[in-house]
Amino acid sequence: MTRTTMPKTWIFFFIIVLVLIIASFLQPSFKSRQIPPPSNTASDQILPPSREANADGMLKNGDNAVYLKDQSSGQSKIVVGYAVFAKPGFITIREDNKGLPGKIVGVSSLLHGRVDSPSVDLTTVLLADHVYYAELVSDDGNGTFEETNDLPVNDKDKSVVLMSFLAKTQTMSTAP
């Protein structure tokens, strides 16, 4: 009687081992389905457009654009990379007001066409780690900036032509 039960035990043992081996081969393929494909990794994600691309996009969406880099805090003058005006206008520098352009703290002279490196004097110094906006404003024809009469320039989609920038603290290098 023990002879007849012994082969059944070996067969049962063999089936259990076989199931464990098959399960171990299936386990890695199950895990590989849980890992996102390489195209969804952080290095392949679409990055936001650069400031230059934003300015180029402004020109593709109208005849006006403004481009500038982040500025140094403590300055009382902004240097704009370039501005393009279809009609005469001004560059206004505005403080941030909860994510929107707020109070005007600087106005350029009257500008027209493409102007490289125009500067804008400010009524205050740039505060470190604060956001500001360079906004294009059209002249009403009198050649003088008047906030109530000179309106923001819009592109063909009716979006205001502006670019935000950050006032950064200047860091000094101690490298030889």
- Please answer whether residues 92 and 124 qualify as being in contact, where contact means their C-beta atoms are separated by less than 8 angstroms: no
pLDDT at 118 over 90: yes
Of all residues in the chain, what percent carry a pLDDT higher than 90?
Answer: 57
With CA atoms as reference, report the closest residue to 135 among 73, 87, 97, 89: 89
What range does the domain containing 139 cover? Answer: 51-168
8 occurs within a structural domain? yes
Q: pTM score, two decimals?
A: 0.67
Assess if residue 43 is contained within a domain: no
d(CA 79, CA 68): 7
CA distances from 155 to 12, 53, 105, 134 (A): 78, 16, 23, 15
Judge if 8 and 88 occupy the same domain: no
Q: For residue range 150-167, list pLDDT tens digits in order.
A: 999 998 888 999 999 999
Check: CB of residue 92 under 8 Å from CB of residue 109. Answer: no
* Higher per-residue pLDDT: 52 or 118: 118
My answer on whether 26 and 102 are in the same domain is no
Claim to verify: residue 151 and residue 124 sit in the same structural domain: yes
Task: Specify the number of domains making up the chain.
Answer: 2
CATH number of the domain bearing residue 162: 2.60.40
Considering the domain architecture, whether residues 8 and 67 belong to the same structural domain is answered as no
Q: What is the chain's length?
A: 176
Residues 19 and 71 in one domain: no
| pLDDT tens digits, one per residue of 29-70 | 555 455 555 554 444 556 566 767 777 777 776 789 999 999
Co-location of 60 and 127 in the same domain: yes
Average pLDDT over residues 78-82: 93
Residue 67 sits in the same domain as residue 133: yes
- 99 and 27, same structural domain? no
Whether the predicted pLDDT of 74 surpasses 50: yes
Task: Note whether 64 and 136 are same-domain residues.
Answer: yes
